[in-house]
Structure 1
Amino acid sequence: MKILAGLGNPGKEYEHTRHNMGFDVIDILAKRWNVSAWKETMKAETAAVVVNGEKVLLVKPLTYMNNSGEAVGAIANYYKVGLDDIYIICDDLDLPPGKVRIRKKGSAGGHNGIKSLIAHLGSEGFTRFRIGVGHPQDGHTVIEHVLGRPYGDDIAKIEEAKIKTADSIETALESGVDRAMNLFNPKRKA
């Protein structure tokens, strides 16, 4: 079984903000896979689906971004899902808008949702699908930036990145995370 957890904040006022990239990608996958039977359990919205013969649990924590680990940790513990089978989808300030990067493990890098996950899962060893939202411009604070919606050229870049991220997750489910990293991570310049 795999857990696909998209990070974000519940509520209409947060829909499609930079911090809700994870929720948006989960919604794209749910639509592709014709998932409509959502339920609220363990402080999250969840839906189960079978992909390539394996059960996949889609998770949108309702604990707000900074406490995402509460829900994901409880669900992983309940279903006895190992770290290798937990995929997290989130925004990333350190990537330019629209860039996608997949990592198998790593520090929180200042991301409070990831900090919470590390605390509740007891490890940094879970896969992250990160979508770049860039650093704040025009004098905005980090909080204003991540809780705001993309604008201008960033809209198209970020919408494309959400689709690319959904594609990369499908590749990871079918062929493994290493294959997804090879295909979707930005190539390093020589």
Structure 2
Amino acid sequence: MVLVIIPSIRIQISTRFSYSSSFKSLKIGLNLKNLKSNKLRFMSEEAQPSTSSTAESTPPPSPWLIVGLGNRGFVFKGTRHNVGFEMVDRIANAEGISLTSGSFKSLLGEGHIGNVPVILCKPQTFMNASGQSVGAIVSYYKIPLKQVLLIYDDLDLPFAKLRLLSKGGHGGHNGMKSVIHHLGGRREFNRLRIGIGRPSGSIEAFNFVLRAFSNLESEELEFTFQKGVEAVHILLSDGFDKSATFANSAKPLDRIG
């Protein structure tokens, strides 16, 4: 009787042990598989950058500063020395940007040209002290000089001609002298020069630049302003080279196409 029962007991014990061991092995195997899967998923999620954190850490682009040089006051309105003011007014009108009294001794307007943020500026310090406004704005907004455009009159260019340059000197222009001085002597900023021609006869340059344009000159200059607005668009969207090719072309605006 004992001999019969003992094997049965052994068989039952063996069977129970085998089942239990197999179950534990299966359970352990599944747990290890889940751990590996979770680890891979975690590593994959960790490797991918968070869209929200990336967006939050990306600083907004620096605006372009577009400055027109001139003299404030009704008496100087429409004079040759104020074509920089007039060009900025044309840009503001084209883009729906309001120029209002603001800080930095300037009339300022903030907006966009295309997708590019811009600050339009007309210093109100009188021409010879224009750099006070420009230097303060560049410093406050931390604007790279490659994103600064100065627009002003030039006696050495033929009337109504544009010339876009990426750097250079002041050429004897007092407003530009002031700007360069207040930028610490740095000259690597863009400038759009508008030709007003040289005086004829015995008229001194000082008196000539403060003269108003004739009606015929004003009509011709309006095409130049339109071309200048387009040149600024190209500068901000496609870069300096394309803009300079367009602006420095001798073709009239209405014949380009």
Give runs of aligned pairs for residues 93-132 of structure 1, distance below 5 A. Answer: 93-122=155-184, 123-132=186-195
Letter in 2 for 1:182: T
CA RMSD of aligned residues (A): 1.4
Aligned partners of 1:43 and 1:141: how far apart in 2?
Answer: 30
The residue aligned with 1:168 is 231
Secondary structure of the structure 1 residue equivalent to 2:118 = strand
Match of 1:42 among 93, 104, 110: 104
Match of 2:137 among 51, 75, 84: 75
Higher helix share: 2
> CA offset at residue 159 of structure 1?
2.2
- Bigger CA radius of gyration: 2
The residue aligned with 1:137 is 200
Higher strand share: 1
Matched, 1:180 2:243: yes
Please give the TM-score of this superposition, normalised by the length of structure 1: 0.93
The residue aligned with 1:90 is 152
The residue aligned with 2:212 is 149
Aligned partners of 1:157 and 1:127: how far apart in 2?
Answer: 25
| Cα distance per residue 1:28-85 (max 9 Å; x no partner) | 1111111225232111110100222221000000011111111011011000001100
Secondary structure of the structure 1 residue equivalent to 2:128 = helix
Change (3 A) 1:17 1:98: same
Letter in 2 for 1:15: K
Question: How much identity, in percent, do the aligned residues show?
Answer: 37
Unaligned runs of 5+ in 2: 1-62, 251-257
Secondary structure of the structure 1 residue equivalent to 2:112 = strand
Secondary structure of the structure 2 residue equivalent to 1:9 = coil
Please give the TM-score of this superposition, normalised by the length of structure 2: 0.70
Aligned partners of 1:45 and 1:34: how far apart in 2?
Answer: 15
Q: Which runs of 4+ in 1 moved over 6 A?
A: none
Letter in 1 for 2:94: R
